[in-house]
A and B are shown apart, each in its own frame.
Chain A
Amino acid sequence: MTLKEKQQQIIDDFSMYEEWLDKYEYLIELGKSLDGLPEEKKTEDRLIKGCQSRVWLDCEKRDGFLYFDADSDALITRGIIAMLVSVYSGRSAEEILEDDFSFLNSLGLKENLSPTRANGLVSMIATIRAKAAENE
Chain B
Amino acid sequence: MTTEEVRALFPQLKRTVYGKPLVYLDNAATSLRPQSVIDRWTEISAHGTANLHRAVHHVAAEATEAYENARKAVVNFINAAETEEVIFTSGATHSLNLAVFGIGEAFLKEGDEIIIGEGEHHSNIVPWQMLRNRKGISIKVLPVDENGRLCVEQLESLITEKTRIVCVAHISNVLGLVNPVSAISDVCRKHGVMLLVDGAQGVVHQDVDVQALGCDFYAFSGHKMYGAPGTGVLWGRRSLLEQMPPMFGGGEMIETVRWDGSTWAPLPRKFEAGTQNISGTPCFVQAIETIRSMPKDNETRDYVYEALQQIDGLRLFGTTSDRRLKVPVFSFSVEHAHHEDLALILDKMGVAVRSGQMCAEPLMDRFGVTGMLRASFAPYNTMQEAEYFVSSLRKAIGMLR
Contact = CB atoms under 8 A, between A and B. Distances in A.
Interface string B288-299: 000000000000
A76 B344 contact: yes
Nearest to A51: B340
B18 A77 contact: no
B393 interface: no
A73 B400 CA distance: 12
B345 A52 contact: no
Contacts of A76: 340-341, 344-345
Interface string A11-32: 0000000001100110010000
B340 A21 contact: no
A84 interface: no
Contact of A54 (B347, B349, B370): B370
A77 B341 CA distance: 8
Nearest to A24: B345
Interface string A62-74: 0000000000011
A74 B340 contact: yes
B340 A28 contact: no
B168 to A, nearest CB: 28
A24 B348 contact: yes
A133 interface: no
Interface in B344-390: 344-345, 347-349, 355-356, 370-371
B338 interface: yes
Interface in A17-53: 20-21, 24-25, 28, 52-53
Interface residues on A, range: 10 to 19
A105 interface: no
23 contacts: A20-B18, A21-B345, A21-B399, A24-B345, A25-B399, A28-B399, A28-B400, A52-B340, A52-B355, A52-B356, A53-B338, A53-B340, A53-B371, A73-B370, A74-B340, A75-B341, A76-B341, A77-B340, A113-B344, A114-B344, A114-B347, A116-B356, A117-B344
A-B complex: 8 closest residue pairs judged by Cβ atoms: A74-B338, A74-B340, A20-B348, A53-B340, A52-B340, A76-B341, A74-B341, A75-B341
Interface residues of B, number: 16
Contacts of B343: 114
B183 to A, nearest CB: 37
Interface string A112-125: 01101100000000
Contacts of A28: 341, 399-400
A21 to B, nearest CB: 6
Contacts of A52: 340, 355-356, 371
Given A73-B370, A117-B344, A24 B338 contact: no
B353 to A, nearest CB: 11
A117 B355 CA distance: 12
A95 to B, nearest CB: 31
Interface of B: 18, 338, 340-341, 343-345, 347-349, 355-356, 370-371, 399-400
| Most chain A beta-carbon contacts within 10 A, residue among B338, B345, B356, B371 | B338
A116 B354 CA distance: 12
Contact of A21 (B338, B341, B348): B348
Contacts of B345: 21, 24, 76
Contacts of A20: 18, 348
A54 B202 CA distance: 33
Q: Which of A76, A77, A114, A116 has the most CB of B within 10 A?
A: A76
A73 B342 CA distance: 12
A131 to B, nearest CB: 24
A13 B147 CA distance: 46
Contacts of A113: 344
Contacts of B370: 53-54, 73
Given A20-B18, A75-B338, 6 more contacts: A24-B348, A54-B370, A74-B338, A75-B341, A76-B344, A117-B340
Contacts of A117: 340, 344
A21 B396 CA distance: 9
Contacts of A21: 345, 348-349, 399
B22 to A, nearest CB: 15
B318 to A, nearest CB: 22
Contacts of B340: 52-53, 74, 76-77, 117
Nearest to B400: A75
A53 B338 CA distance: 8
Contacts of A25: 399
A41 to B, nearest CB: 18
